[in-house]
């Protein structure tokens, strides 16, 4: 309940290093191969308004992106040229890669009880996905016609988010929050690629953080987030599962749960304007690269 009536706008510059390294016999392009397009702008915005001194509501819109790989046709697989690999490209499909973008809308309500504040918000989500250059995997798919080279496929879904904050002192505020899985409609055009016939839910997460007012106009913030990737079959299932792509329990990306650390600061020294700057660190092991 420390937020006054306000609009917020933000832009995150996300710059992941995506690629792979391989050696020895195989069919993919050898050595270190790096994905193109290294910078992704991710916007966000919101509005909050108080009902009274102890309750408020708000709406937020934010995006999630950067899960994009783009490999040039200039790379040639080790089996090129051959009947098995008749085209250039890392997967013998010329330009190859995948693109996933997600957008979220939340409308929440918060109530304070003395030093304790609690909040609840339903979450609506929309995601789009596109894959190309993966046709060499068609013999290993349960639905090869819904594997690759389709246009963007839309998926919609919903979940819930809740959290609480406790004011230890007038300047120190710890809090925790959690989000359920966001259950999404299947990606029908790619049900031959993703496990469970195209299911691609958004994983649950749990966050703990703290805010400390160094000055009346400057706040330091830090939080830890745990993302439950292993609970989403298309993401968490092992890539070595001996089943056809797209089938129930089929191979996934093989991601494990991860921990994200964020630190930042907020400066409120201007009339009707707050400036925020932060850094996020996500230690994903190289074995999870896609």
CATH code where residue 160 lies: 2.40.160.60
- 114: phi > 0 → left, psi -120 to 50 → alpha, else beta; which? left
Phi, psi of 229 (to 5 degrees): -60, -35
Report whether pLDDT(272) > 80: no
Written as six digits, the tokens of 153 are 């496929």
**pTM listed for this prediction:** 0.84
In a domain, 178, yes or no: yes
pLDDT value at position 276?
87
Based on the structure, what is the number of domains in the chain? 1
In a domain, 237, yes or no: yes
Higher pLDDT, 79 or 223: 223
Report whether pLDDT(201) > 70: yes
Helices and strands per DSSP (H, E), number in the chain: 2, 14
Compute and round to an integer the Cα radius of gyration of the chain.
Answer: 22
In a domain, 1, yes or no: no
Report whether pLDDT(286) > 80: no
pLDDT value at position 76?
87
In a domain, 218, yes or no: yes
Residue-wise burial string across 149-161, b where 16 or more C-beta atoms lie within 10 A, e elsewhere: ebeebebebebeb
Is the link from the previous residue into 265 a cis peptide, with omega within 30 of 0?
no
**Coil, strand or helix at 184:** strand
Burial of 243 (C-beta count, 10 Å sphere; 0-12/13-18/19+): middle
Share of the chain above pLDDT 70, in %: 96
Report whether pLDDT(141) > 90: yes
In a domain, 157, yes or no: yes
Q: Which residues pair with 129 in a beta bridge?
A: 100, 153
**Residue 137 domain boundaries:** 6-17+37-288
CB 20 within 8 A of CB 33: yes
How many Å apart are CA 204 and CA 183, to the nearest integer? 10
Report whether pLDDT(16) > 50: yes
In a domain, 53, yes or no: yes
Q: What is the DSSP letter of 256?
A: P
Q: What is the DSSP letter of 147?
A: S
**Coil, strand or helix at 254:** coil
In a domain, 68, yes or no: yes
How many other C-beta atoms are found inside a 10 Å radius of the C-beta of residue 29?
23
Q: Which residue has the tokens 């968490």?
A: 236
CB 56 within 8 A of CB 49: yes
In a domain, 24, yes or no: no
Q: Which residues pair with 111 in a beta bridge?
A: 55, 118
């Amino acid at each position: 309940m420390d937020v006054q009536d306000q609009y917020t706008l933000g832009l995150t510059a996300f710059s992941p290093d995506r690629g792979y390294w391989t050696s020895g016999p195989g069919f993919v392009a050898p050595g270190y191969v790096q994905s193109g397009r290294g910078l992704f702008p991710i916007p966000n915005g919101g509005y909050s308004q108080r009902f009274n001194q102890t309750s408020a509501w708000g709406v937020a819109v934010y995006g999630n992106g950067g899960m994009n790989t783009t490999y040039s046709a200039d790379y040639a697989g080790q089996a090129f040229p051959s009947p098995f690999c008749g085209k250039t490209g890392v997967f013998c499909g010329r330009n190859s890669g995948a693109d996933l973008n997600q957008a979220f809308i939340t409308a929440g309500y918060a109530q304070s009880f003395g030093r304790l504040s609690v909040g609840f918000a339903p979450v609506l989500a929309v995601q789009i996905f596109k894959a190309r250059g993966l046709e060499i995997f068609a013999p290993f798919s349960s639905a090869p016609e819904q594997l690759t080279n389709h246009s963007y496929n839309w998926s919609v879904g919903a979940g819930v988010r809740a959290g609480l904050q406790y004011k230890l002192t007038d300047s120190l505020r710890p809090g925790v929050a959690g989000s359920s899985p966001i259950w999404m409609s299947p990606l029908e055009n790619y049900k031959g690629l993703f496990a469970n016939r195209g299911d691609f839910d958004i994983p649950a997460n749990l966050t703990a953080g703290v805010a400390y007012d160094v000055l009346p106009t400057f706040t330091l913030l830090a939080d830890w987030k745990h993302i439950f990737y292993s609970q989403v079959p298309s993401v968490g299932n092992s890539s070595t599962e001996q089943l056809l792509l797209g089938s129930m329990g089929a191979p996934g990306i093989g991601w494990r749960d991860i921990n994200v650390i964020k630190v930042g600061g907020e400066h409120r020294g201007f009339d009707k304007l707050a400036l925020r700057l932060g850094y996020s660190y996500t230690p994903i092991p190289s074995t999870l690269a896609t």
